[in-house]
Amino acid sequence: MTLEFALVLLLCLISSVLLTPVVKKFAVRVGATDAPNHRKVHNKVMPRLGGLAIFISFSIGIIIMRPAGEDTWPIMIGALIIVLTGALDDRFQLSPKAKLIGQITAALIAIIWGGVQVEFINLPFGGRLEFGIFSIPLTLLWIVGITNAINLIDGLDGLAAGVSTIAIFTISGMAIIMGDAYVAIFGLILVASTLGFLFYNFHPAKIFMGDTGALFLGFMISVLALLGFKNITVISLIIPVLILGVPISDTFFAIVRRILHKQPISAPDKSHLHHCLLNAGFTHRETVVIIYGIASMFSLSAFIFSQSTIWGAIVVIAVVLFSLEIIVESVGLLGKNYRPILNLVREKKS
């Protein structure tokens, strides 16, 4: 890391710290606030739009560093569209269809204009799998899916910002190991900008990032993961999935839970991971720190996975899946009665 880049990261951090109070006042003035209800854990009206501070600070860093790449400006324009979509939702409560249109538009700009897409993957035993005409829809599904996954975990003070920071830092670290300075620059600037906001967002939060921040972070994480790990082996394609283990698994089990309960997939509930931990008796702050720990374990497993042989990678995946199953059963993510492994262990003990 050069001195110039270190100073830019410091500038982004300080900018985010200074801009967040300004954005807070602006959010209150324009009425972009979040009122408490039966699904929310906060009990007072909170300003939203905090993602604006992250985006502006991030943009300052990118403009100064000017990372060399044909997809830089398409990514930034896509990010701007996603931020505008989130900001409008924070203020006017857009319909799900309108939000989805904004997300798809941003994603297509990055995909078609910026060329951010997975066109093929190299197979483990030779040859490669070309996606052809399915390249764009698969990439679109990834970007929109991860964008919404980050949005879904934005339910506690500092949760989405912290989990996103861990994921982005991991992607940046692995980019440095692979010699990908482009992704590393993007990622570390985003980490610095998010950390500045987290200073005000950690419990007890003074401002929420809102959809402005959650959609922006989700969009950037999905794009950076594609840039860092596209057109590689089947085994390596699992790395970004591991890094994003918390939002992906929480979204997956939310879908399964709603199918089992015969509810619409888009129906909101209070059975996400953070809700389950709160119901188990953990405090707000303890719940967030526990999920930070789970996110860090996913990131560590991704790093170990990347350095392993094929058999070693299989062992890592097996351990991750087993650990995830134990967590799901312990906190009741699929319901209090879903405990096959824990019940089996209990029966053997008795």
Residue type, 43: N
211 annotated to a ligand binding site: yes
Beta pairing partners, 256: none
Burial of 259 (0-12, 13-18, 19+ CB in 10 A): exposed
Compute the CA torsion angle 10, 11, 13, 14 (nearest 10 deg): 110
Q: DSSP character for 110? A: I
154 annotated to a ligand binding site: no
Q: 10 Å Cβ neighbour count for 273?
A: 26
Is residue 168 within 8 A of residue 220, CB to CB? The reply is yes
Is residue 106 within 8 A of residue 146, CB to CB? The reply is no
- Distance between CA atoms of residues 322 and 316, nearest Å: 10
- Distance between CA atoms of residues 116 and 9, nearest Å: 25
Burial of 296 (0-12, 13-18, 19+ CB in 10 A): middle
Among residues 54, 57, 45, the alpha carbon closest in space to that of 87 is found at 54
Q: Which two tokens stand for residue 133?
A: 């005409």
Among residues 285, 283, 293, the alpha carbon closest in space to that of 327 is found at 293
| Known binding residues | 151, 211
Binding site, annotated residues for Mg(2+):
151, 211
